[in-house]
Structure 1
Amino acid sequence: MTGMIVSVGLAVMIGADGPAASLEANAVYASVREEGLTVGGQSIRLDGPRFTDDQTAQEQRETLRSLAGSDRAVEGLLRPSVTAPFLLSLEDRTVDGATIRSGDLFFAIQVDLDTIDPDALFGQEESGPVEAGNMRFEVQVLDDPGEGIDGSASARFVHSTGRLLDRIGVESTARVSASRSTDSVVVASRTDRQFDDHEQWPNRWWTIERQGTSESTGTPERYAGGIGYAKLTRLKDDPKTVLVELRFAFAEPNAWFNGAPILRSKFSLIAQDQIRRLRRELSR
């Protein structure tokens, strides 16, 4: 989830050259919707966006009301403030050897959608480290993932590295594609199996054991990764407000926290930290 919010921030704030795929041509978006994520013999697919480009202003407001619960809650959600609330819902599915954790996140930002360049996601090689909830994440765009990797002109590869609660290390490489239409921008991502055993950018996780000031790491294991997309939609009766909906799912091996929802309990804190950081950057 953190990587997807970072991606939204990059897409909003950084300029770059190059063509963006249309939503219909966004193979990564189609993949997370139609193929989904398979872990432990079970698959999960992401639902479509609640806010679609063909909605009227009234239909957008009705959707907001159904999500927030009341007109007053909608006004709070759309408040032009760094501390405006967000909506986060989570779901867990137990599978063989892991839990698939999925969620939906909704929030608003104040920005002119026309100034957002979806190719800006690939405008720099690194986003810099992000820390929240005793976790640390770094995201790096790969200009050259190496020989033998099948890519496409409309997608790029992004490698992320995380340190979870000082107990788990994890890294993965995702195929990411950005799209735009008149009233929306979409960024979609999925862990690419081509990198499962890649020498430099693998999909893997490992345990971290601390003893005083020293630490050791366990033997790396292959990581199934995750899928996600973020859709930024212009609010039609307030064009300077953009609605962000983010949907995601990822695998959490039982060996991480014995199936306990320790990591899950940090999601709200991470979302709050990253959303406020994005809003502060936009206000500058």
Structure 2
Amino acid sequence: MIGMIVGVGWVVLVGGADGIAASHEENGVYDSVRQEGLAVGGRTIRLDGPRFPDGQTAEEQREALRDLAGSDRAVEGLLRPSVTAPFLLSLKDETADGAMIRSGDLFFAIRVDLDAIDPETLFGQGDSEPVEAGNMRFEAQVLEDQDGEGGDSGSASARFVHSEGRLLDRIGVESTARVAASRSGDSVVVASRTDRGFDGHDRWPNRWWTIDRQGTSEVTGPPEPYSGGIGYAKLTRLKDDPETVLVELRFAFAEPTAWFNGAPILRSKFSLIAQDQIRRLRRELGR
């Protein structure tokens, strides 16, 4: 989830590169996370389509917002032009063989000109700044074309992004994903899925390992294969308030049972991570 919020920040805040799907229909990664989904331990999780699809009228958007938030007053709070405006996060767990599949939906609003957002900027950064939240650390690197020999992007508009994370000083994890961005007159979409073609790759593998702190030193366990995750973020302009953009983020990822014995330790950090990253994005936009 944190990687997707950071991805939204890249799209909104940074500048320039080539490679963009001409429409959402041509965004192969966006299609695959909804149609193929994430297969882990005999279970397959597919992401729902957007709650705010293109083509809605202003009245339809408002009705969908009321249904989502629960009341007109809650809608006004959600859309409030403030760094501390609320967000809506719902989570779901599915048990698979050897893993929990954590999935969720996140909604929040930002103030930005959608027409000024260039989806190509997602690939304009070679590296992202490390992000720390909830005693966790994440960083990502956009791979050059020649570095993508371990997988098939499946689309001229997709790029490979390698991410590394440290979870609660207990687990190390890294994975390589296909990421693609696209735009329409109403919205921008960023979609991501772990590319299993990088399993066992010598430079950009999908793997995880334990971290055992022993005083001032650390001992790491042997690497294990990692199934990764899928997600997409859709940024939709509100018809009756064009400077307000609603961000709809859906995600699912594998959490091996060996990480925390199935306990929701990592899950309990999601709200804190979301709050930290959303407020950071809003502050940057405010500048």
TM-score, normalised by the number of residues in structure 1:
0.98
Residue 150 (structure 1) shift: 2.6
Mean Cα deviation higher: 144-153 or 267-276: 144-153
- Whether 2:244 is the aligned partner of 1:241: answer yes
The residue correspondences of 1:1-284 to structure 2 (distance < 5 A) are: 1-21=1-21, 22-143=23-144, 144-147=146-149, 149-151=151-153, 152-284=155-287
Give the distance between the partners of 1:163 and 1:19, measured in 2 at CA: 30
Give the distance between the partners of 1:148 and 1:102, measured in 2 at CA: 27
Contact 2:150 2:198 (8 Å CA) reproduced: no
Give the distance between the partners of 2:48 and 2:149, measured in 1 at CA: 34
Give the distance between the partners of 1:225 and 1:79, measured in 2 at CA: 34
Give the distance between the partners of 2:6 and 2:115, measured in 1 at CA: 20
Give the distance between the partners of 2:269 and 2:103, measured in 1 at CA: 13
Residue 163 (structure 1) shift: 0.3
Give the distance between the partners of 2:48 and 2:200, measured in 1 at CA: 30
Residue 146 (structure 1) shift: 4.5
Pair 81,203 (structure 1): closer, same or farther in 2 beyond 3 Å: same
Residue 20 (structure 1) shift: 1.5
Residue 174 (structure 1) shift: 0.2
Tell me the percent identity. Answer: 80
Give the distance between the partners of 2:174 and 2:18, measured in 1 at CA: 27
Pair 79,213 (structure 1): closer, same or farther in 2 beyond 3 Å: same
Q: Secondary structure at the match of 2:241?
A: coil
Give the distance between the partners of 2:215 and 2:24, measured in 1 at CA: 51
Q: Secondary structure at the match of 2:147?
A: coil
Q: Secondary structure at the match of 2:254?
A: strand
Q: Which runs of 5+ in 2 are unaligned?
A: none
Residue identity in the other structure for 1:4: M
Residue 147 (structure 1) shift: 3.6
Residue 145 (structure 1) shift: 1.8
Pair 236,171 (structure 1): closer, same or farther in 2 beyond 3 Å: same
Give the distance between the partners of 1:154 and 1:147, measured in 2 at CA: 16
| 1:61-120 deviation per Cα after TM superposition (whole angstroms, max 9, x unaligned) | 111111111111100000000000000000000111100000000000000000000111
Contact 2:29 2:178 (8 Å CA) reproduced: yes
| 1:247-271 deviation per Cα after TM superposition (whole angstroms, max 9, x unaligned) | 0000000000000000000000000
Pair 210,148 (structure 1): closer, same or farther in 2 beyond 3 Å: closer
Give the distance between the partners of 1:251 and 1:149, measured in 2 at CA: 20
Structure 1 vs Structure 2 CA RMSD: 0.9
Q: Which runs of 5+ in 1 are unaligned?
A: none
